[in-house]
DNA sequence: TCCGTCATCCCCCAAAAGTGCTATTGATAG
DNA sequence: CTATCAATAGCACTTTTGGGGGATGACGGA
């Protein structure tokens, strides 16, 4: 039996949802609210297993809502339910740990499906959303920007990032400090930076290391 | 009519797939191979619209395969199809631009579905895969880890990351170098690091700045 | 009011880093 | 065979950094 809590500011829609879900034999709607202002208390009291969460609500919206819920009750499944489909909000919800993301044009049948799905550990998304999530991965792929650093230079840079001094680096590789110096000079030149701090920042931002 | 190309080293499975897909009125299997060694040529000659791609194959596997295909023919949909479900490989495929990811335990019906889905711009994933993709997002979420840095200290650290020297920072804020020094000392202590490079790396890794 | 924190400033001093040169060796590519 | 390049090393010199002190005024909470 799924215990469902609904956050949706449009009363008519909220009522429709309640009706829809109550019509299912294995679903129980434990509550419905128009904003997330008291979401923590409400979840504590009503102990839902799945939350249907609208994004755009007066007062605290669904993005703050999912954050709060997931921070305090990570075991509760949160299913975002919204008309919005901009990447900004989508990513914000996903980062906050939303378990699924439905667009409001989703059919009632699919909503039921999604609830079953999320409750059994899945992550329901409309194909459209899934596509955009994958798109993000591609975008996140960092250009294998080639600075032309030699293998040795990469090793030296790596230790520099770890906070090692020239002396320590020299010792680690059993080479002279002067050599480390030389490598660093070349590294700085290739990276177009003037000191270690900048090089470290640039290297990490380019995802040369992680 | 979907033009389908199959990469799968298990011949029996490959034949089953061909049979299955050929049984559909709107699908045409244009070819099937046991590895990706000549994937570029093959795609060029057979002009598929959708590729079913196994990951583990002798010679060039599916990960190299999807990379090649997506680099040369970004418009062709690639559907990974594998027994492997480790995060490593999954992410590698997604980053390379795979359009969907199916586990081999997926039912024939779902495979048909997935092909239709991917061809219409969706991103079919098993619920299990979708869950893990979302999981990745959560992990990537930055924890607002609190080092207890004061506002001023944050400003100083920010400039340090930009590669500014103490002197430049002092000038930027119209304060003395000694003050910058003091701030940095406090910053290093709070961050438990011993020098600027380490501080820069730690700050960026903690996503204190971006 | 007193205590803690923040931001500011100062001194000293040693260690580390950065700059500009040169130079040798071995491997590799043309 | 030569030219290039990676890796090694050195030296001289300046600037920057880090660690150890200590001090002041302002502000805010207990």
Confidence tier at B104 by pLDDT (50, 70, 90): confident
What ranges in A23-61 are assigned the alpha helix state H?
39-46
Cα separation of A190 and B162, whole Å?
17
Contact A205 B205 (CB under 8 A): no
Cα separation of B210 and B84, whole Å?
34
**pLDDT score of B6:** 95
139-198 on A, CB < 7 Å from strand D: 148, 150-153, 173, 175-179, 181-183, 195, 197
Cα separation of B43 and B21, whole Å?
18
Average pLDDT value over all residues in chain A: 89
DSSP-derived 3-state class of residue A63: helix
What ranges in chain B are assigned the alpha helix state H?
11-22, 39-46, 62-72, 87-95, 108-119, 127-140, 151-161, 166-173, 177-191, 196-205
Neighbours of B124 (CB within 10 A): 24
Tokens of B163: 């590669």
pLDDT digits (tens, 9 = 90+) for B17-67: 999 999 999 999 999 999 898 999 999 999 999 999 998 888 878 888 988
Cα–Cα distances in angstroms (integers) from residue B83 to residues B80, B103, B106, in the given order: 10, 6, 10
Contact predicate B136/B175, CB 8 Å: no
Contacts of B187 (CB under 8 A, 6+ apart): B149, B153, B156, B157, B199
- Does B102 lie at the interface with A, CB-CB under 8 angstroms? no
Category of B47 on φ-ψ map: left (φ > 0), alpha (ψ -120 to 50) or beta? left
DSSP-derived 3-state class of residue B80: strand
Q: Which helix (DSSP H) or strand (DSSP E) does residue A202 occupy?
A: helix A196-205
Q: Examine the pLDDT at A142 and tell me if it is beyond 80.
A: no
DSSP-derived 3-state class of residue B190: helix
Contact A196 B197 (CB under 8 A): yes
Instruction: Give the angle B91-B136-B143 at the CA atoms, nearest 5°.
Output: 140
From the list A102, A9, B110, the residue with the least C-alpha distance to A93 is: A102
**pLDDT score of B58:** 86
Chain B residues 32-51 with CB within 8 Å of chain A: none
Average pLDDT value over all residues in chain B: 89
From the list B64, B68, B62, B5, the residue with the least C-alpha distance to B33 is: B5
Which nucleotide's C1' atom has the smallest distance to the CA of A197? C17
pLDDT digits (tens, 9 = 90+) for A173-203: 999 999 999 999 999 999 999 999 999 999 9
> Residue B125 gets which letter from DSSP?
B
Neighbours of A33 (CB within 10 A): 20
Q: Examine the pLDDT at B209 and tell me if it is beyond 80.
A: yes
Beta bridge partners of B200: none
Residue nearest to nucleotide D6 (CA to C1'): A150
Which nucleotide's C1' atom has the smallest distance to the CA of A194? C18
Which nucleotide's C1' atom has the smallest distance to the CA of A185? C18
**Count of residues for chain B?**
210
Residues of A in contact with B134 (CB under 8 A): 94, 97-100, 123, 133
């Amino acid at each position: 039996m799924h215990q469902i809590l609904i956050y949706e500011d449009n009363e008519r829609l909220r009522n429709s949802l309640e009706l829809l879900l109550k019509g299912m034999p294995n679903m129980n709607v434990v509550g419905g609210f128009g904003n997330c202002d008291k979401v923590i208390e409400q979840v504590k009291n009503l102990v839902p297993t799945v939350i249907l969460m609208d994004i755009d609500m007066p007062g605290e919206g669904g993005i703050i809502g999912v954050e709060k819920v997931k921070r305090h009750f990570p075991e509760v499944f949160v299913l975002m339910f919204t008309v919005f489909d901009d990447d900004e909000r989508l990513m914000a919800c996903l980062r906050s740990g939303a378990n699924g993301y439905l667009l409001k044009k989703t059919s009632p049948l699919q909503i039921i499906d999604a609830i079953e799905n999320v409750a059994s550990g899945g992550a329901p998304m409309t194909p459209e959303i899934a596509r955009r999530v994958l798109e993000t991965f591609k975008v996140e792929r960092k250009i294998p920007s080639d600075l032309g650093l030699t293998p040795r230079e990469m090793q030296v840079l790596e230790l520099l990032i770890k906070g090692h001094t020239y002396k320590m680096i020299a010792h680690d590789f059993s080479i002279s400090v002067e050599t480390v110096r030389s490598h660093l000079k070349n590294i700085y030149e290739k990276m177009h930076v003037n000191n270690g701090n900048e090089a470290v920042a640039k290297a990490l931002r380019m995802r040369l290391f992680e």
